[in-house]
Amino acid sequence: MIFVVLPAYNEAEVITPLIEQIRAVARRRFLEPVKVIVVDDGSADDTAARVRALEDEHTLLVQHPHNRGLGEAIKTGLLRALELANPDDIIVTMDADNTHTPGLLPRMISTLEGGNDVVIASRYQPGARVVGLSPWREFLSAGMRWLFQILLPIRGVRDYSCGYRAYRVEILRRAFERWGEDFISQSGFSCMVDILLKLDRLNAIMTEVPLVLHYENKIGKSKMKVAKTIRETLRLAWRERLYRLRHRKSA
């Protein structure tokens, strides 16, 4: 089984077509069933109602009564998927804002099955494109990439912050066993970096496939709080540098 976890906050306008596209890819390209788990993080709009209208054995809605942030929503979604998953299943996370193309799922899954523990849809691999993102946001992501590649390199990783990823169930289980809920200790957008740094401590094998990011499809503004994300990410980088120094892992 393939689980697709969608953290969603006020995505009523795009959540229905996104789920339908995922179903279409699943029908055309996968022999095994795909289960979509939407975590509605206290949306003020109709996100939950739209998902409920589609609910069936392959589409599940989980709700937070109040908004708790991207990290908490990803945690809820991953834990729910792990409750339902077999050891050889796969869990994918992706943005629910219709900028991550479900058509990339088959390539991500086959790359994972080729012996990797984590596959990242990356803006920094040959063949990747970013359409419609503001230069400021591109600059921030690129800055993040270089900061981490220099200070906290992880073999196989260039895109530390993209939310479109596939994970082996086994590696996520090990992470939750080791850290419990602290596996994802960041409630905001820096959770994406947090997850990778922790999985690297478990020696997870990670690789990337090129992403065409369709940011022009985005309706409304990004929900990322830039200053908060930068602050939290730098704090995280510092924590991990200390950890690596203590454990003599050379950077």
3-state SS of the chain: helix, strand, coil percent to 5? 50, 20, 35
DSSP for 87-116, written as a single string: TT-EEEE--SSS-S-GGGHHHHHHHHHTT-
Shortest Cβ 63–ligand GDP spacing (Å): 10
Kind and range of the H or E run holding 146: helix 135-151
Instruction: Count Cβ atoms below 10 Å from residue 158 Cβ, excluding itself.
Output: 18
Nearer to Mg ion, 121 or 204 (CB): 121
102 touches ligand GDP (CB under 6 A): no
Which stretch, 7-15, 76-84, 98-106, 192-200, contacts Mg ion (CB under 5 A)?
A: 98-106
Q: Which of residues 11-50 bind ligand GDP (CB under 6 A)?
A: 11, 39, 41
Count CA atoms within 13 Å of residue 141 on its CB side.
20
Nearer to ligand GDP, 95 or 200 (CB): 95
- φ/ψ (deg, to 5) at 234: -65, -40
Out of 11, 95, 117, 232, point to the residue binding Mg ion (CB under 5 A).
95
- Best CA proximity match to 38, nearest among 55, 57, 13: 55
Residue 159 interacting partner from Mg ion, ligand GDP, none (CB closer than 5 to 8 Å by kind) = none
Size of the site for ligand GDP (CB under 6 A): 18
Shortest Cβ 161–Mg ion spacing (Å): 11
Residues at the contact surface with ligand GDP, assessed by CB under 6 A:
7-9, 11, 39, 41, 67, 69-70, 73, 95-97, 99, 163, 222-224
Which residues in this chain contact Mg ion in the complex, by CB under 5 A?
95, 97, 99
